[in-house]
């Protein structure tokens, strides 16, 4: 439906384009933009002071034009290439072209951890420990080992889990496929 509508809209837009273009080109003067109230008041004040102002503005002033032609600007400033100044030719190039090592979790881990906080590695460790043996790694033990508040540890263990890899049994998959094949065969026999 969208394609049809765009095609119809395009044909409507292109209809009678030539005549509309000629009408626009034949206009003598473009429509001026609306003026602000303050600009109109300024113009009226200027016309009160000098009634021939519009004629003066529209007429070319030859004396002013001649004086403008005599004005020349000469610059004696030197062009300073700051990029060339920044490069130091005596600066030694890097000896090692190896890339910087990539961190395991995507950021550099802190060397010391403030009490009440834990790193991502520590959090992953105690989450997996708790999932593998919840009786040994209780909330209280984790809180004392990592110097965290118990409610913080409880929230972390409730809302975050480590990934479990599930590898399905091959025999189960083959059994499901064979059941599906037998159903298909039965359906074909009935037809």
109: Cβ contacts below 8 Å, ≥ 6 apart: 103, 119, 120, 121
Span 54-79, average pLDDT: 88
Would you say the pTM of this structure is higher than 0.75? no
Average pLDDT, the chain: 84
The answer, yes or no, to whether residue 126 has pLDDT greater than 90, is: yes
Q: Count CB atoms within 10 A of the CB of residue 146.
A: 20
* Residue 80, phi then psi, degrees to nearest 5: -105, 120
Note the pLDDT of residue 149: 95
25 vs 180, residue with greater confidence:
25
pLDDT digits (tens, 9 = 90+) for 132-190: 999 999 999 999 999 999 999 999 999 998 887 777 777 666 666 666 666 666 666 66
């Amino acid at each position: 439906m969208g394609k049809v509508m765009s095609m119809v809209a395009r044909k409507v837009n292109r209809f009678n384009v030539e005549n509309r273009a000629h009408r626009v080109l034949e206009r003598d003067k473009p429509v001026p933009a609306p003026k602000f109230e303050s600009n109109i008041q300024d113009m009226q004040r200027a016309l009160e002071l000098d009634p021939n102002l519009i004629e003066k503005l529209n007429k070319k002033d030859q004396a002013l034009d001649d004086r403008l032609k005599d004005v020349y600007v000469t610059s004696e400033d030197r062009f300073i290439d700051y990029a060339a100044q920044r490069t130091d030719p005596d600066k030694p190039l890097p000896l090692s072209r190896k890339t910087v090592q990539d961190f395991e979790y995507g950021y550099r881990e802190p060397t010391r951890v403030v009490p009440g906080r834990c790193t991502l590695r520590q959090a992953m460790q105690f989450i997996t420990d708790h999932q593998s043996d919840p009786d040994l790694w209780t909330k209280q033990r984790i809180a004392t080992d990592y110097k965290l508040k118990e409610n913080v540890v409880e929230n972390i263990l409730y809302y975050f889990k480590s990934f479990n890899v599930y590898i399905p049994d091959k025999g189960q998959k083959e059994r499901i496929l064979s059941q599906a094949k037998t159903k298909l065969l039965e359906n074909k026999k009935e037809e």
